[in-house]
Amino acid sequence: MTVIVTGGAGFIGGNFIYYMLKNHPEDRVVCVDCLTYAGNLSTLKEAMEHSNFRFCKINICDREAVYGLFEEEHPDVVINFAAESHVDRSIENPEVFLQTNILGTAVMMDACRKYGIRRYHQVSTDEVYGDLPLDRPDLFFTEETPIHTSSPYSSSKAGADLLVLAYHRTYGLPVTISRCSNNYGPYHFPEKLIPLMIANALADKPLPVYGEGLNVRDWLYVEDHCRAIDLIVRKGRVGEVYNVGGHNEMRNIDIVKLICKEFGKPESLITHVTDRKGHDMRYAINPTKIYNELGWLPETKFADGIKKTIRWYLENREWWENIINGEYQNYYERMYGNR
Ligand code: NAD
Ligand code: TYD
């Protein structure tokens, strides 16, 4: 079958493309990505050598270009990873989040309606559920937890999710949605917590922890997320939402201390900076549904995943050094300069 993967030059989409080429070599994979600051063609260097892989530089908001591609490729499946994905940038400038995350999703689904599709899958996030209090470790997000967003990013993702479910009900579009917790692993853009701390620790630069660093995230190795999406697309029930997470809750401060330890760097590098506006306290997924229906369980333990990730950043310095030496420097100065 032919699978369109949007956002494949980014972190999770890129990992998903390699997952597909490895596990389903019989499928044709067409990557749609407009290469924003977060998209990186060098991520797809090895994929480019596969005969059943195609890269198309297309913005998912560009209806004409998207329809043209559907006419050429007749995809069986569309998996929409493309998004503006960074909470801090959404606080700086929400507009592009609304454009890509909501309007872009509508364009992709309109194309699916017009040309026909076996499955449209929306890659969403646990952030659509808002946050949980730190003093209630018994609470977890289930698929029934009400949508209750905090940031422009999570609001735009929630808007997209509602639209996806509406297209299912109104037009009968065969959709599924996955809502995953925080991912980590190779090709993670260095503006996000784990790769930022790895890059700064290696350069003996301050490690900027927002507030006290007590916020909790539920970390999942990216390959486990890719496997979950693949299962949902092939075996999940149409019209359903599946939460994806591995019961691996950690406080930010503990992650940063662990990274210091792995590199033998002093904890004195840790610098507490002004907190993020509206900062969500805790995310925690209840993955019972995907386990019961599809047998999915995470395979990579955090202790192993973080070692693999650190090794990848050490062995692929060029990939991330090219990023942090470019336009990213302006962002870093804006975000952390006077914090
Ligand atoms: P990312 O920022 O690393 O990559 C996003 C990719 O989308 C980039 O390649 C970018 O060029 C592309 N893109 C952006 N706007 C586009 C547009 N208008 N048209 C075409 N391409 C466009 O993001 P990521 O971390 O890989 O996240 C992928 C998806 O997974 C997102 O939908 C995100 O909301 C979701 N998600 C991420 C996490 C996480 O921890 N990173 C967790 C749960 C869900
Ligand atoms: P991030 O990787 O941006 O993911 P998200 O906000 O989508 O969960 O941030 C993870 C956590 O780390 C979040 O609580 C904010 C915090 N954080 C810092 O303390 N310092 C930083 O420099 C960054 C980027 C994040």
Domains with residue ranges and CATH for the chain: 2-187+220-247+282-299 (3.40.50.720)
What is the model's pLDDT at position 59? 98
Sign of CA dihedral 232, 235, 240, 246: negative
Q: Which atom of ligand 2 is nearest to the CA of 213?
A: 19
What is the model's pLDDT at position 245? 97
Q: Determine if ligand 1 sits within 6 Å of the CB of residue 186.
A: no
| Cβ pair 76, 120 in contact under 8 A | no
What is the model's pLDDT at position 19? 98
Beta-carbon contacts of residue 321 (< 8 Å; ≥ 6 apart): none
| Per-residue tokens: 88 | 């801090």
Q: Which of 32, 18, 214 is nearest to 111 (CA)?
A: 32
3-state secondary structure of 228: helix
Predicted model pTM: 0.98
| Per-residue tokens: 109 | 């689904």
| Cβ pair 63, 33 in contact under 8 A | no
Within 203-282, residue ranges assigned H as helices are 222-235, 252-263
What is the model's pLDDT at position 228? 98
- CA of 109 relative to ligand 2 center, distance in Å: 31
Rounded distance, CA 323 to CA 315, Å? 15
Region for residue 193 given its phi and psi (left: phi exceeds 0; alpha: psi -120 to 50; beta: otherwise):
alpha
- CA of 7 relative to ligand 1 center, distance in Å: 6
DSSP 8-state secondary structure symbol assigned to residue 282? B
What is the model's pLDDT at position 289? 98
Closest-lying ligand to the alpha carbon of 124? 1
User: In the chain, where do the E strands start and end?
Assistant: 2-6, 28-32, 53-56, 77-80, 119-125, 175-180, 183-184, 207-210, 216-218, 220-221, 241-244, 249-251, 270-273
Calculate helix-pair angle for 317-324, 328-336, nearest 10 degrees: 70
Calculate helix-pair angle for 193-202, 252-263, nearest 10 degrees: 30
Beta-carbon contacts of residue 314 (< 8 Å; ≥ 6 apart): none
Cα radius of gyration (the chain): 19
Within 203-316, residue ranges assigned H as helices are 222-235, 252-263, 288-294, 302-315
Q: Which atom of ligand 2 is nearest to the CA of 255?
A: 12
Enumerate residues lining ligand 2, CB below 6 A: 87, 182, 192-193, 196, 208-210, 213, 215, 217, 252, 276
Residue type at 329? Answer: Q
Residues taking part in catalysis: 126-127, 153
Tens of pLDDT along the chain (339 residues) come to 999 999 999 999 999 999 999 999 999 999 999 999 999 999 999 999 999 999 999 999 999 999 999 999 999 999 999 999 999 999 999 999 999 999 999 999 999 999 999 999 999 999 999 999 999 999 999 999 999 999 999 999 999 999 999 999 999 999 999 999 999 999 999 999 999 999 999 999 999 999 999 999 999 999 999 999 999 999 999 999 999 998 999 999 999 999 999 999 999 999 999 999 999 999 999 999 999 999 999 999 999 999 999 999 999 999 999 999 888 888 898 899 988
Rounded distance, CA 245 to CA 287, Å? 6
Q: Determine if ligand 1 sits within 6 Å of the CB of residue 178.
A: no
- Bridge-partner residues for 32, per DSSP? 6, 56
